[in-house]
Structure 1
Amino acid sequence: MNESPLSAGTAAVQRVIDHLAARQHPHAPRMLDDAARTAQQAADALGVTLGQIAKSIVFRRKPDGVAVLVVTSGDLRVDEKKVQALVCADGGKLGRADAEFVKSSTGFSIGGVSPLAHTTPVVTLIDEQLYRFEEIWAAAGHPHAVFPLTPQQLQTLTGAPVHDVTVAAASHPA
């Protein structure tokens, strides 16, 4: 039986619930029986294609240390150089974000990073490839919590711009 998000006892999930409710999103987070720390685990648990999972990848912008969140399809890889060109000033670089940085900058642990309801402001980009799908699923603040939405709703809820931020299909296996 699926546990309700409220009984899961996590402030992170509650932040997502509150954020969605305040914006009148029609779907509350759903708790999965098993953890969905990876896009593949989430797709398997939900019975959807890997691409329908809106995975959240966090980078650290140097030198100001701002978190950069890229939301992309679970079946694609983020092209760091494309992201860097969009969010860094001339000559600026992106770095990898470790678990501590992700938690401190978003309020979420890796495996449950929601594209919204962060504890501090982050720079967010949405990959245009999410628009291949009518329905996508995003993490809701916990490895067991997800919620459905459309790519258009994701853009509205986050206010993030949409860009091409993934590696070209010929550059990686499907």
Structure 2
Amino acid sequence: MSAPAPAPPRPLRRDIAAALLVLVVWVVPISQGAIQAAPATWWPTIVRDLGSISCLFRHRPEIVSYYFIQVLRDGRREWEPVDERAMFPMEPFGYRSRFDRFMERFGARQEASRLDLARWIAARDRELDSGRSPVVAVRFLAGAQKIDPARPPAGHWQKPAPTPQTVRVLSTHDLRGGVAQGTGAK
């Protein structure tokens, strides 16, 4: 008589935990994204990113948000616009720069993110042209353009020129004196 066949090995706890993690963090959000066009907003950002790769666009946007940066230089009284193409040369998101993507994702809602970006802009401006007066303050402007379904945008979309009627000050960050302070407009 031969020895009975050994029982198949039981799955390890770590294998079960890894399978549950994949199920909860990827399969469930991607399934929800396939049904509802995007994972729910209550998922953490990283999970929403992983779950929104299905690229299903069932709802068209109602508005297009856009942002501008202005700087105040030492010894000057007027705000001047920043050349976004020099500051953020890559455009990995079509005609929108990394700045636009950052502001859409974090900057429009988080004052601390804008303050960090303001410090980076001042330092980057010095790197790009050390002969100019240093940046002592940075302000962020935000605007939105409604999309008219009767006349949808065509061709290469450009940000409209900022005017007091089309944009609002999102926040101003004074970088003088070691400690940067921000004043957000709510």
Using structure 1 for the length normalisation, give the TM-score: 0.23
Structure label with greater radius of gyration = 2
